[in-house]
Amino acid sequence: MSDNSACAETPKFSWPTIAFLVLTPPLALAGISYWFYAGMFNWATLVLFLVMWTAVGISTTAGYHRLFTHRAYEASWPVRLFFLCFGAASWEHSAWRWTMDHHKHHRYVDTERDPYNIKQGFWHAHLGWLFKEREYDHASPLGVEYGKDALVRFQHKFYYPIAIAFAFLLPTCIAALWGDAFGGFILAGLGVVVINHHFTFSINSFCHWLGRQPYSDKHSARDSHFLAFFNYGEGYHNYHHEFPNDYRNGIRWYHWDPTKWLIRILHSLKLVKNLKSVSAELIVKRKIAMQQKRMQNIVVNKIPSFAAMAEQMSNLAAEHALSAARRWSELKKEYAALKFQKTAAMRAQVQEVRERMKSARREFELLFERYANLNKGFLKMAAA
């Protein structure tokens, strides 16, 4: 069915989905409370819960999201199989359907064709959109593209048995080894499903409602350091919407992005390859454009007589920062091309390029800091 026909029809309620999403939180809460207060608490089960939570969550972010939807890198079949098995345990449907929903979100963000459009309300974006049945044309060009992977098709065909096995049977059987099958089911099974649901849903709701927009205000996506901590780096959502094919969401060393770190580790082990990332120059260009826009809007409104001079000075500082970012990006590419050379002469050249790259990065950071401080100064003058 085409998108137009889907929009024209009134979607039917998906009662099994509604029942699952409405009933699992109170069941999990009641069961975990009973497990705790009845004296069944077990440290091994708590560790199992943390392991399952991590495996399911990271399979959603590194697998469903950055690998299968955005093709931010390529992965070997064992990695893909792991992500598909534990991604199914999230009970967010098959990777094939998940990717098609998310592709529409990016393509039609903030419009009626966006499946979880924040403009239809916070709760619609968080949960309500799941209450309606949705059509998936797996024979469409998009469906064919996302279904090229045989493992993706296998997971889609046997989704429910896989989801039941990895979400519920696996933690129950493991915890049964130390005599706590109930705890394994209710905490490391159902509890993980519920928690992972609402942390994932929070990206669709909170990260389109609260937070900063350092890269673009053309869409509602926002960055949230707080949600990044609970969503394995997915909270840097304004960046992600601007650069969806980047394997990173948190680009600075101090940004909490375990998904990025896992992908890098798998890359070092040669289990994944072809990591895609955006150049420093393009990132800085978007960031500067947003800062320029905000500064000019405020300064023009507050002190119009100073606006032209402030804009000229800010533009000049921005050009210097962008030029430094461009040099840094070019040297990074040169270093990446040379660093695997084995001869002594080439190793010396690699070291030289590496030092020049570090110097270019320091120069860029200094110039960008000066640019940012200049804009802050203008904003303080406008606020005075």
Burial class (CB in 10 A: 0-12, 13-18, 19+), 312: exposed
Residue 324 and residue 223 in one domain: no
Out of 250, 273, 296, a domain closes at 273
Instruction: Kindly give, in sequence order, each residue whose CB lies less than 8 Å from that of residue 206, ignoring residues fewer than 6 positions away.
Output: 126, 224, 227
Closest CA to 200 of 250, 160, 238, 234: 234
Q: How far is CA 54 from CA 65, 74, 150, 196, 331, in A?
A: 15, 21, 25, 9, 36
The segments of the chain whose pLDDT lies below 70 read 1-10, 295-322, 328, 331, 335, 338-349, 364-365, 367-368, 370-371, 374-384
Residue 119 and residue 246 in one domain: yes
Whole-angstrom distance, CA of residue 112 vs CA of residue 8: 11
Residue 192 and residue 307 in one domain: no
Q: Check residue 155 and give its pLDDT.
A: 97
Whole-angstrom distance, CA of residue 269 vs CA of residue 68: 20
Whole-angstrom distance, CA of residue 157 vs CA of residue 326: 47
Residue 305 and residue 375 in one domain: yes
Residue 299 and residue 314 in one domain: yes
Whole-angstrom distance, CA of residue 340 vs CA of residue 37: 58
Residue 360 and residue 339 in one domain: yes
Out of 231, 248, 273, a domain closes at 273
Q: Check residue 290 and give its pLDDT.
A: 79
Residue 62 and residue 177 in one domain: yes
Q: Give the three-state DSSP class for 273.
A: strand
Residue 235 and residue 359 in one domain: no
Number of domains in the chain: 2
Residue 273, both tokens: 């390859």
Its pTM stands at 0.83
Residue 169 and residue 40 in one domain: yes
Residue 229, both tokens: 């901590």
- Find the farthest-apart pair of alpha carbons in the chain and give their distance in angstroms, rounded: 76
Q: Check residue 355 and give its pLDDT.
A: 75
Residue 154 and residue 265 in one domain: yes
Query: Residue 26 is part of which domain span?
Result: 3-273
**Helix boundaries (H) for 147-279:** 150-157, 159-164, 170-176, 181-185, 192-205, 225-230, 237-242, 258-268
Residue 35 and residue 96 in one domain: yes
Whole-angstrom distance, CA of residue 96 vs CA of residue 146: 6
Whole-angstrom distance, CA of residue 379 vs CA of residue 383: 6
Residue 307 and residue 217 in one domain: no
Which phi and psi angles does 285 have, rounded to 5°?
A: -60, -45
Out of 218, 251, 273, a domain closes at 273
Q: Check residue 8 and give its pLDDT.
A: 47
Residue 162, both tokens: 């896989």
Residues 185-209 pLDDT 10s: 999 999 999 999 999 999 999 999 9
